Chains A and B, each alone.
Chain A
Amino acid sequence: MNEAVLNGLNEPTMKVQSNRETEDSLNIEYTDTVGQPLCDDPKISTRNVDVFYADNQAIHDVSLDIGAHQVIALIGPSGCGKSTYLRTLNRMNDTIDICRVKGQILLDGHDIYQKKQDPVLLRARVGMVFQKPNPFPKSIYDNVAYGPRIHGLTRNKAELDDLVEDSLIKAGLFQEVKDRLHAPGTGLSGGQQQRLCIARTIAVQPEVILMDEPASALDPIATAKIEELINELKENFTIVIVTHSMQQAARVSQRTAYFHMGRLIEVGETDQIFTNPSHELTEKYITGRFG
């Protein structure tokens, strides 16, 4: 179904370039992205992406590959553009009138911004989990069943039941809610609500999950459960996570991308970024010298 919809036309452009500028506040010269922004087996390829809110450019010339079945963490100070970039990956920015996206974003080699692409179907393939748990005011069961129902993913009630159960199991929530599937989702704890939202995302069988600070509103135990879940989910999904917690990025991701003032400064293996970053700005940010 999705392949037919996303019948892409464009080949990825492998050129990574940018303008040289001086970063004002830290007096550090910005050059091209350092490290390895591209990879051999990308699920998503973004090339020379610019994002504008009216006349204000929020993202400058970002070229980055997101590898399949990997967790990539996007880190950077507030306002650096990491969430804006994340939202370009499933066209969530379409909902903002003044937002314009330039450049190329390819999912499995197909341009997601081509006119015939249905954003709703795109978001079924590239799901999203938000900072604040946002369950629908429905039962736990209906929260998870909502997506499969509107996308017609199951043929009968038994199949839907199985899909709901499977999604709740994958989200690590089933054992906690199996006896109250028809209780309101909003009655769960914050951590449980977030796992319910993850189950709801998984239920439509996406290929990529975008997570925008998924644990920032949770306590340490609930956070640990979400992180454990991310680790398990990467077997079946490609995950892009925006986080303000450096330790969380270090724990859950295989690659880390550092954004600063709308530019992609450095991308590398997470171990390398947190022990020996190449760019001065990355070093300063992760050691807490600004941000």
Chain B
Amino acid sequence: MEHFEFEKHTSSEYNTELEDIRNHLLQMGGQAENQLRTVLKAISEESDELATELLSQGDDIDQMEVDLDQECTRIIARRQPAASDLRLIVAVMKSITDIERIGDETEKMARLLKKLFARDFHSKYFKEIDHLGQEVLTNLSGSLNALARLDAEEAIKLAQRDQVIDAHFDELNGQLIKKMVKDPNKVKPYLGLSQCAQSLERIGDHAKNICEYIIYLVIGKDVRHTDIEEVKNSLLEQ
């Protein structure tokens, strides 16, 4: 949408408010991205210290979610936004739920890792999970960049890439299940690894949701629960 712009309202205060929620959303996304980086580092380095560090970061993301919700509610009440402004508010309110859940998943992974490290459990699958995690991180970073640039084309590409993550997760999880069957004594730690992989797959889904909100925000089309190929083709036709 070439005429997309959040500034230039008659009310400069309104410009500032909209700019603020965009900035705060990106800060919140950046925080979630950092948490994912930290937990992936904890996995690749098998570092209990990093897992602990992540858990000690407290409720930053939760607080950001509450603050952004309040900011959006205030703008709705005071400004009655319409068109792209309204879509921005809707996209922000929806994105923060996903980002908050990404934060939760990273914390869940950190707790699982701490249990695994406490057992002194070592496995080549830490590396495999890290590979999956790097793919997820690429998608999450990409979706946050697309959000910053309001780049719907990039959002479509990234949403498509979620299928690759899903396939990778299925393959990895299949291998972990086989390990559990083969070695019943290690069901618990492998289950822990499987849950970590599952968290990463979910983070991928949340990143995909963010991409869908970007498409809605920029193009005005709700593409949730539709085949991404269909979406791509219909948008190309337009």
CB neighbours (8 Å) of A247 from chain B are: 80
CB neighbours (8 Å) of B11 from chain A are: 288
With A274-B86, A276-B220 known as contacts, the answer to whether A287 contacts B80 (CB < 8 A) is: no
Determine the distance from Cα of A75 to Cα of B90 in the docked complex, in whole angstroms: 24
User: Do residues A283 and B80 form an inter-chain contact, with CB atoms below 8 A?
Assistant: no
> Is there a chain A Cβ closer than 8 Å to B81's Cβ?
yes
CB neighbours (8 Å) of A291 from chain B are: 10
Q: Of B82, B85, B220, which is in contact with the most chain A CB atoms at under 10 Å from its CB? A: B82
User: Do residues A288 and B14 form an inter-chain contact, with CB atoms below 8 A?
Assistant: yes
Determine the distance from Cα of A289 to Cα of B10 in the docked complex, in whole angstroms: 5
CB neighbours (8 Å) of A290 from chain B are: 10
Closest to B90 in A: A275
How many B residues are at the interface, by size bracket? 10 to 19
Within 8 A of A (CB), among B55-97: 79-87
User: Do residues B9 and A287 form an inter-chain contact, with CB atoms below 8 A?
Assistant: yes
Within 8 A of A (CB), among B1-38: 3, 5, 8-11, 14
Within 8 A of B (CB), among A261-291: 274-277, 280, 282-284, 286-291
With A276-B220, A280-B3, A287-B9 known as contacts, the answer to whether A246 contacts B84 (CB < 8 A) is: no
Determine the distance from Cα of A276 to Cα of B3 in the docked complex, in whole angstroms: 13
CB neighbours (8 Å) of B79 from chain A are: 288
Closest to A273 in B: B83
| Chain B binding surface SS class | loop
User: Do residues A283 and B83 form an inter-chain contact, with CB atoms below 8 A?
Assistant: yes
User: Do residues A275 and B3 form an inter-chain contact, with CB atoms below 8 A?
Assistant: no
User: Do residues B82 and A286 form an inter-chain contact, with CB atoms below 8 A?
Assistant: yes
> Is there a chain B Cβ closer than 8 Å to A34's Cβ?
no
User: Do residues B82 and A287 form an inter-chain contact, with CB atoms below 8 A?
Assistant: yes
Determine the distance from Cα of A290 to Cα of B82 in the docked complex, in whole angstroms: 14
User: Do residues A283 and B9 form an inter-chain contact, with CB atoms below 8 A?
Assistant: no
User: Do residues B83 and A274 form an inter-chain contact, with CB atoms below 8 A?
Assistant: yes
User: Do residues B8 and A274 form an inter-chain contact, with CB atoms below 8 A?
Assistant: no
With A280-B3, A283-B3 known as contacts, the answer to whether A274 contacts B10 (CB < 8 A) is: no
Q: How far is the CB of B234 from chain A (nearest CB, A)?
A: 15
| Chain A binding surface SS class | helix
- Kindly identify which residue among B10, B81, B84 contacts A283, using a CB–CB cutoff of 8 Å: B84
Q: How far is the CB of A23 from chain B (nearest CB, A)?
A: 13
- Kindly identify which residue among B9, B82, B220 contacts A246, using a CB–CB cutoff of 8 Å: B82
User: Do residues B9 and A275 form an inter-chain contact, with CB atoms below 8 A?
Assistant: no
CB neighbours (8 Å) of A277 from chain B are: 83
CB neighbours (8 Å) of A274 from chain B are: 82-83, 86
Q: How far is the CB of B91 from chain A (nearest CB, A)?
A: 12
User: Do residues A250 and B8 form an inter-chain contact, with CB atoms below 8 A?
Assistant: no
User: Do residues A276 and B83 form an inter-chain contact, with CB atoms below 8 A?
Assistant: yes
- Kindly identify which residue among A275, A280, A289 contacts B86, using a CB–CB cutoff of 8 Å: A275
- Kindly identify which residue among A246, A276, A284, A289 contacts B80, using a CB–CB cutoff of 8 Å: A246
Contacts from B to A (Cβ < 8 Å): 3, 5, 8-11, 14, 79-87, 220-221
A-B contact pairs, 17 of them (CB 8 A): A246-B82, A247-B80, A274-B82, A274-B83, A274-B86, A275-B82, A275-B87, A276-B220, A280-B3, A283-B84, A284-B3, A286-B83, A288-B9, A288-B10, A288-B11, A288-B14, A290-B10
The 10 closest A-B pairs by CB, nearest first: A276-B220, A280-B3, A286-B82, A274-B82, A287-B85, A289-B8, A288-B9, A283-B83, A287-B83, A288-B10
Contacts from A to B (Cβ < 8 Å): 246-247, 250, 274-277, 280, 282-284, 286-291
Q: 15 extra interchain contacts, Cβ-Cβ under 8 A, other than A250-B82, A287-B9? A: A274-B86, A275-B86, A276-B83, A276-B87, A276-B221, A282-B83, A284-B3, A287-B81, A287-B83, A287-B84, A288-B9, A288-B10, A288-B11, A288-B79, A289-B8
